[in-house]
Amino acid sequence: MRFQLLGPLGMSDGSDTVVLQPSKPANLLAALLIHSGTLVSADYLQRMVWGDEQPATARAALQTCVLRLRRLFTKHGVLDTPIEAVPGGYRILADARSLDLVDFRTSVTQAAGATEPESELAMLRVALSLWQGAPLTNVRSAAIHRDEVPRLVEERLRAVERGCDLQLALGHFGQALVELWGLTRAHPDHGRFREQLIEALYRSGRQTEALAEYRRYQQYLDEELGIGPSAALRALELAMLRGESLGTPAEPPGARAAAPAAARPKPAPALPPVPWFTGRARELAVLAERLGRDAARQEPVRELICGAPGIGKTALAQHVAHLLGDRFPGGALLARLTGTDGAPRPAAEVGAELAARRPDPAAGRALLVLDDAADAEQVREVLAFAGGGAVLITSRRKLAGLIATHGGRVHRLEPFAARESHALLASVLGAERLAGDAAAARDLAARCGHHPLALMIAAARLMTRPALPLADGVRWLAEDPLARLSLPDDPGLSVSRVLSSALKRLEPDLAEAFLTAGRLPSPAFHAADCAGLPGFAGAGAEAVLERLADAGLLEDGPPGPYRVHELLRLFARRTGHGRVRPREKV
């Protein structure tokens, strides 16, 4: 069964489609599917279902809505996409096969990685064919249409915009014009479509029509919005009035004729691909769209990837940089902000490294990846050396201070979903080996806590023992997970080593508080459960827990409970043995 969001909300089994009637459960399903694979808080769901003015019984009514949805799933044979109750809210797990939105985002991301413009255009057309009209037209939730639908529409428009750019680059001016006439009338405020239309007219030899279209748009901006055309449009107008060449179609509107090929600087190489990279489809799609869009527009952009140690931040950043290599002719530079000893590197040292490795500025815009940032101040100082441009930052911390002063978006990584864990294991060990013992494969992922680093290490160890039955390998791992989630020939690839390094970065009192939290009876707890325990004395328990969450060692927080990942709990119990004695509950 496949869910449909990119049009009326519905379910399809390939032959029949059920379009859901407007109802509160339909509102709930739409809100869950939009955030598929992530925890959706009960407060958010109540707002999406009932709006900002919620009834006093909203929490209980939400549980009733979930029950009605589960009955609907049973009625229509939905077995692979359950609604899970998790601390603080609910979660639905859907992949590209079961949800058109995930399929669309995955296809757009894959298109961005194409090496030929014809291939990228073909892949984008496949992605856009998933749209069946305006999204969620049968969902009667003002909050969803206010807060979520515009973001979905924007994703589609960015893909359409990129497709039109590719048509212009390939010289398909007639095809582009057919599409752009309708787009500019349907979206009069979307300036890039108007630029593309004027450019397509001019490149088709229709200078008079191009200038007339420019004048109509100029009048619209003045009368409706009280603003003038963009700098790019004014440059395009000047080039048209002078009868100048616009250069190669791939260049931005208004660009002058390109320099001879022999005079162009050689582009810097992109970052290499990440071996065995799987999962993170949603984050990949969002990052590729934002960085790719801003690369084309020459706008500065900053994106932060944060999360727990070993959760895959660097891998995601490097993979995004690799996929977008063709969007940044100046190449991608990766600078590590933490030394091998775990200490933050001085900004001047990082700046000198960047200056030495930076390609010729004439090569074009570059993407800077700042890996493993210690805190907001360190990044601010490094940015002073980096100049303007696109910057992708990874950090265990959320760096809220940096976002407040320099802007940007935050992408917090959580452990893999079950399907992502399976995909990683299958890519390393082979689908045939997993299919031979599916239960053991699921058990292996669970033993690793769906933690990317742990999964990668476990898969690597099993890959070197092809004759070992998977179930035997899982039992061997379960005997001492922390000791065996490491590679003997590469000490750096060790869950214990990575977590020990994270612990050493904390102040002593904060490290003691983490060990305390990790040894509490339950992995989920509130601040009141920690009051007065070692590491929490003399400070508000919630403030301490917030610092641990900011460091990537705890998940979630107020108003819901804090949580410690099972591998971190195991590490805390072993590390803190004899040092921390949690208060016994009466």
Please give the chain's pLDDT, 586 residues, in tens: 789 999 999 988 766 788 889 999 999 999 999 998 888 888 889 999 998 888 888 888 999 999 998 888 888 888 777 888 888 889 888 888 889 999 999 889 888 888 888 888 888 988 999 998 889 999 999 999 998 999 899 999 999 999 999 999 888 888 888 889 889 888 888 888 998 999 998 888 888 888 888 888 888 888 887 787 877 788 788 878 777 766 544 443 333 333 343 334 444 555 777 877 888 888 887 888 778 765 555 566 889 999 999 999 999 999 888 877 767 777 788 899 998 778 898 888 888 887 777 655 556 678 889 999 999 999 988 887 776 678 999 999 999 888 888 888 899 999 999 988 988 898 888 877 888 888 999 999 999 999 999 999 999 889 888 888 999 999 999 999 888 899 887 877 899 999 998 988 888 889 999 999 999 999 999 888 888 888 887 668 888 999 999 988 998 777 779 999 999 999 998 886 434 444 333 2
Structure tokens at 106: 């995955």
Q: What is the DSSP string of 403-429?
A: HHHH--EEEE--PPPHHHHHHHHHHHH
Q: What is the DSSP string of 38-90?
A: S-EEHHHHHHHHH-SS--TTHHHHHHHHHHHHHHHHHHTT--SSPEEEETTEE
Give the whole-angstrom CA distance, residue 379 versus residue 393: 9
Nearest to 140 by CA among 25, 3, 12: 25
The confidence score (pLDDT) of residue 15 equals 66
Task: Tell me which fold the domain 1-160 belongs to.
Answer: Arc Repressor Mutant, subunit A (1.10.10)
Q: Which CATH number fits domain 171-258: 1.25.40.10, 1.10.10.10, 3.40.50.300, 3.40.50.850?
A: 1.25.40.10
Quick one: the chain helix, strand, coil %, rounded to 5? 55, 10, 35
For the chain, the domains span 1-160, 171-258, 281-412, 418-498, 506-575
The confidence score (pLDDT) of residue 207 equals 86
Give the whole-angstrom CA distance, residue 371 versus residue 390: 14
Beta strand residue intervals within 275-405, DSSP E: 301-306, 332-336, 367-373, 390-395
Given a contact cutoff of 8 angstroms between Cβ atoms, the answer to whether 61 and 48 are in contact is no
The confidence score (pLDDT) of residue 73 equals 85
How far from the centroid of its chain's Cα atoms is residue 331's Cα?
A: 21
Nearest to 561 by CA among 519, 526, 512, 516: 526
pTM strictly above 0.85: no
The confidence score (pLDDT) of residue 261 equals 38
Amino acid sitting at position 102: V
Task: Tell me which fold the domain 281-412 belongs to.
Answer: Rossmann fold (3.40.50)
Quick check: helix, strand or coil at residue 474?
helix
